[in-house]
Amino acid sequence: MTLSSRIEAYILKRSGTTLSQLENLATKRGFSLDEVYSALDTIHRNKKIRRTVQKGDVVYSPAPEPKAPGSHLTYVRHNYPVRDETNDGSGIEADYSYLFLTPEELEKYKAEARGVQYIPSKRYAKKKREGIRHTT
C-alpha cells in the first residue's frame, strides 16, 4: 500500500484533516516530508478529495457527491402541470381583463375579488352640465 493511498484512506474516513496533521502523522510513522509532499501531489489530483484553506492551513475533506443531471428541475416537475395544448405549462392562470376597465368598473372588480360588497362612489357620477343662463 503506497503512502498516497494510505493518506487518501485516512482523509476519506474523517470529515476534515489539515496538512499539518498529515505532516505530523507521517513523520511519526517514519516518512520524510519530501515523501509526504510527493504523495500529496497525487492526492491533489484525486476527485474524491476536496481542498480548502481555513486560517492559513490546507484542509482536506471528502468531496460532496455530485448532483444528478436534471436534479435542479425536480421542483418544477413536482409543482407545475405538464405542458400540453390546453395550457402553457406555467400553472399560472392570469386574468388581465382589469386593465381595460373604466375606473368605476375597476373598483367593482376589486371589490368582487376581495369578496366585499361594492358600493358605488359619487365621484364617478356624471355631472349635469348647466348651461350659462342669460338674463336679459
What tens digit of pLDDT does each residue of 92-115 get? 677 777 788 888 888 888 898 899
What tens digit of pLDDT does each residue of 77-97 get? 888 777 777 776 666 677 777
Total domains present in the chain: 2
Residue 130: what pLDDT?
A: 61
Q: Is residue 25 part of a domain?
A: yes
Residues 98, 51 share a domain: no
Q: Could you list the residue range(s) of the whole structural domain that residue 41 is in?
A: 3-62
Residue 94: what pLDDT?
A: 73
Q: Is residue 129 part of a domain?
A: no
CA distance 37 to 84: 59
CATH number of the domain enclosing 22: 1.10.10
Nine cell digits for residue 130: 348647466
What tens digit of pLDDT does each residue of 6-21 get? 999 999 998 889 999 9
Residue 20: what pLDDT?
A: 92
Residue 76: what pLDDT?
A: 79
> Among 70, 72, 92, 97, which Cα is nearest to 81's?
92
Q: Is the pLDDT of residue 2 over 90?
A: no
Residues 56, 7 share a domain: yes
What average pLDDT score do residues 62-86 get? 81
**Which helix (H) or strand (E) element contains residue 112?**
helix 103-114
Q: Is the pLDDT of residue 129 over 80?
A: no
Q: Is residue 33 part of a domain?
A: yes
Residues 53, 7 share a domain: yes
Burial 61-74 (b: 16+ CB within 10 A, else e): beeeeeeeeeeeee
Q: What is the dihedral of CA 28, 9, 6, 63, to 10 degrees?
A: -90
Phi-psi map region of 53: left, alpha, beta (phi>0 left; psi -120 to 50 alpha): beta
